[in-house]
Amino acid sequence: MDQVKIGRFIQMTRKEQKMTQREVAERLNISDKTVSKWETGNGLPEVGLLLPLCNLLGISVNELLSGERLDEKQYYKRAEENIMNLMKEKEEAKKKIILTVLTIIPCILAGVTIILLAGLVELSVWVRILLIGIAFVVIASGLTVACILDREAGVYECKHCGERFVPDMKGYIMGAHTLTLRKLKCPKCGQKSYCKRHLSR
């Protein structure tokens, strides 16, 4: 989905309804920063807000996700495209998760193998130190790449306000987590909680 096109469409239909960003935000019980984020193409409305937003702007969900007004013929064609785009987004998120695992496991195994080699084989001190240094670089590189891929695989949903967002890198790394939950601060309501990961917006 073209977030910039959708954002421009939200802005255009909002202005057609002679509403300000603040008025839209108040009607949807969200912040005007969130509306601004949508209109600048930096995010999409969460699923729970799609219908209320469309009702407010006098458009259909299909038109919103297409980023344009649709006649009857276009409507069904775009509906199929939008469904396919959502499925593609989920598939890409799954691929990133698999790639994360395929990155981190070999790097950790390689790093541990090098450390064991440095400890078990008789080597001079400087070679041993060099090998241990290389092992830590390999492990750190693998963890860094894995974190970048995993952070971008889907979005997290705040359990307090329902906002879906991609966390910043610091919040992602520092957040305690399980396989599907991560403790994060919501950019919308400011609450810190265990947010659930979703593969699509």
What are 138-179's pLDDT values in tens digits? 999 999 998 888 888 888 888 888 788 888 888 888 989 887
Q: Which residues pair with 193 in a beta bridge?
A: 184
Return the pLDDT at 201: 66
Q: Which residues pair with 25 in a beta bridge?
A: none
Residues whose CB falls within 8 Å of the CB of residue 99, separated by 6 or more in sequence, listed in order: 149
Return the pLDDT at 56: 92
10-33 pLDDT per residue, tens = 999 999 999 999 999 999 988 888
C-beta neighbour count of 95 within 10 angstroms: 12
Return the pLDDT at 166: 87
- Tokens standing for residue 42: 């930096």
Which residue reads 């458009």 in tokens? Answer: 59
Q: How many angstroms separate the CA atoms of 103 and 13, rounded?
A: 44
Q: How many angstroms separate the CA atoms of 127 and 133, rounded?
A: 10
52-97 pLDDT per residue, tens = 999 999 998 888 888 888 877 777 667 777 777 777 877 888 888 8
- State mean pLDDT over 95-113: 90
Q: How many angstroms separate the CA atoms of 182 and 87, rounded?
A: 24
Radius of gyration of the chain (CA): 23
C-beta neighbour count of 30 within 10 angstroms: 23
Return the pLDDT at 94: 84
Lowest average pLDDT, out of 9-13, 112-116, 195-199, goes to 195-199
Q: Phi, psi (5° rounding) for residue 196?
A: -85, 140
Q: How many angstroms separate the CA atoms of 154 and 201, rounded?
A: 7
- State mean pLDDT over 175-199: 88
- State mean pLDDT over 104-116: 93
Return the pLDDT at 42: 84
Give percent above pLDDT 70 in the chain.
97
Host H or E run for residue 139? helix 125-151
Host H or E run for residue 192? strand 192-198
Is the pTM here over 0.85, yes or no?
Answer: no
Q: What angle do CA 195, 189, 158 make, to 5 degrees?
A: 15
Return the pLDDT at 22: 92
